[in-house]
Amino acid sequence: MVASMKTFDGKVALVTGAAGGLGSAICDALAANGATVAMADRSDAEFRGAPDRVFPGDLSEPGYSDGLPKAVADRLGRLDILVNNAGLMRRGAITEASDEDLRLSMAINVEAPFRLCRAAIPIMAAAGGGAIVNVASCWGVHPGPGHLIYCMSKAALASMTQCLGRDHAHQGIRVNAVCPNEMNTAMLKTGFERRGFDPEKAIEDLNATVPLGHIAEPDEIADVVVFLASDAARYLCGTLVEANGGKPVG
């Protein structure tokens, strides 16, 4: 994790998917650097210690996504950083995909970030600027096999990042994305279990395919998010940062 530097003293950050492995690491890293972190997830069960900073809801519900940035700004006084971290993965070829796979993937991976950015940008612009960090994927930049809907949705998020970065830089709002490859999270392990693999053995095999020696740990990706949200990345906008340990997609 990035060392505590109080980089974000006085700033408020909103993180979606905050209860997951990467979401929790992002919240911890931002807080360690001085931010007040608003945590959004489907359930508040993981955040009993900070009820004033929890905003539970379903990102597939337009009203929730549309109203979330204002709700955070109203309760916590401002909104300086938005991290669109929530996401889901549906595997398989197009002939195996259901309408629900498509609907839910696009709702969470594309529509929710669209709505959150649309609502957050005016708030940030009125305050003189801000930073938005989207969690896209290497698989959205270099599509891989057997993940059509996931690749398609993350490609849309990557394109959204590039467009917004250009469109809103003049307002002092920097929009960038981190694009991880495989990451050691519960979601990855659950996916292996559903397909009948031993998750620990499967991760060990994955580690052997990465030039740096292991798939990403959540805190390694969280550090990139902190960098992109900070003034250290002040000249980056519309940038897609691939954090893959040197491993290509496929």
Contact criterion met (CB below 8 Å) for 108 and 60: yes
Q: Is 64 a catalytic residue?
A: no
Three-state SS at 49:
coil
Using left for φ > 0, alpha for ψ between -120 and 50, and beta otherwise, residue 77 falls in: left
How many CA atoms are closer than 13 Å to the CA of 20, on its beta-carbon side? 24
> Dihedrals φ, ψ of 223, to 5°?
-60, -35
In whole angstroms, what is the distance from residue 177 CA to residue 195 CA?
Answer: 30
Catalytic residue among 47, 55, 64, 150: 150
- Residue environment code for 121-141, b if the CB has 16+ CB neighbours within 10 A, otherwise e: bebbeeeeebbbbbbbbbbbb
**Other C-beta atoms within 10 Å of 28: how many?**
16
- Residue closest to 15 by CA, chosen among 72, 95, 99: 72
Beta pairing partners, 10: none
In whole angstroms, what is the distance from residue 200 CA to residue 190 CA?
Answer: 11
**CA angle at residue 115 from 113 to 119, to 5 degrees?**
115
Q: Which residues are catalytic?
A: 150
